[in-house]
A and B are shown apart, each in its own frame.
Chain A
């Protein structure tokens, strides 16, 4: 069995309004940051997982992302995978 460290990024789809991102952008500008064109807030989920090779682990992570980590009606996801 191989062990992998997976980082999953879940983001609201570009077409979905992100009020938390807008509020954070507004606060960033109040802090004095200049030049911010857009700011959106997402989530990062870290998983350590075992499996027989990368392909099997990818299948497991795809299922988790599609069914649990992200709501694909409003969110997109991507992930990176590192063999430990």
Chain B
């Protein structure tokens, strides 16, 4: 545990990398290491966070260019090894663009950039990202995105539901996401993508601590 290190990926245009590092180091005493997107050696890392922001200026589509970085190429083996990957906001967009998670994130229904706190229902405990063993089935986390409307075809949605891959659903769908989806996992449960920002909810003085559990669960095996 002492040497457990979380890699926080930095793309050109990432802007939540320091927030993630602050939350992990400062609030949870988990060691972090910034990873430039051109790194491909992930051998000394135990988990990886793809933070929010606007990688490559969101050119073409959010996450579309990041998919071709050396780091994302190396991520396949990392995921297959069972280690954990958390994609937040733009990180979620990158995970769908690169095929680690199904579906796509598209422009919000009302075209607004939404910056707000939202209530979320914990739907699945797959991967243990939200399951605190307590009674809290609803959490509140901040969102900040213009392109967070989750979209998938009906076959994919059925697969998500049947396999309990939907992690979080919005209580009051703010962006038009299919089935109110705010976060999903892969089948193994070691990859989570979500639009809300857990790293911005790790201290009571800035609005809540509902994000702590998700970040802390990066250390789960």
Contacts and interface: CB of A to CB of B under 8 A. Distances in A.
Q: Which of A20, A23, A74 has the largest count of B CB atoms less than 10 A from its CB? A: A74
Given A69-B60, A71-B64, A73-B104, A19 B151 contact: no
Contacts of B60: 68-69
Interface of B: 60-61, 64, 68, 96-97, 102-104, 106-111, 149, 151-153, 176
Given A20-B111, A73-B104, A74-B104, 10 more contacts: A16-B106, A20-B107, A23-B111, A68-B64, A69-B60, A71-B97, A71-B104, A73-B96, A74-B106, A74-B151
A51 to B, nearest CB: 21
A19 B109 contact: yes
Q: Which of B107, B109, B152 has the largest count of A CB atoms less than 10 A from its CB? A: B107
Chain B residues touching A, majority SS = loop
A47 interface: no
A71 B109 CA distance: 18
Contact of A73 (B109, B110, B111, B152): B152
A39 interface: no
A74 B153 CA distance: 9
9 contacts: A16-B106, A17-B106, A19-B107, A19-B109, A19-B110, A20-B111, A23-B111, A69-B60, A73-B151
B69 to A, nearest CB: 13
Interface string A1-37: 0000000000010011101100100000000000000
Interface residues of A, number: 12
Interface of A: 12, 15-17, 19-20, 23, 68-69, 71, 73-74
B53 to A, nearest CB: 19
Given A16-B151, A17-B176, A71 B61 contact: yes
Nearest to B175: A19
A73 B153 CA distance: 8
Contacts of A15: 153
Contacts of B104: 71, 73-74
Contacts of B111: 19-20, 23
Contacts of A20: 107, 111
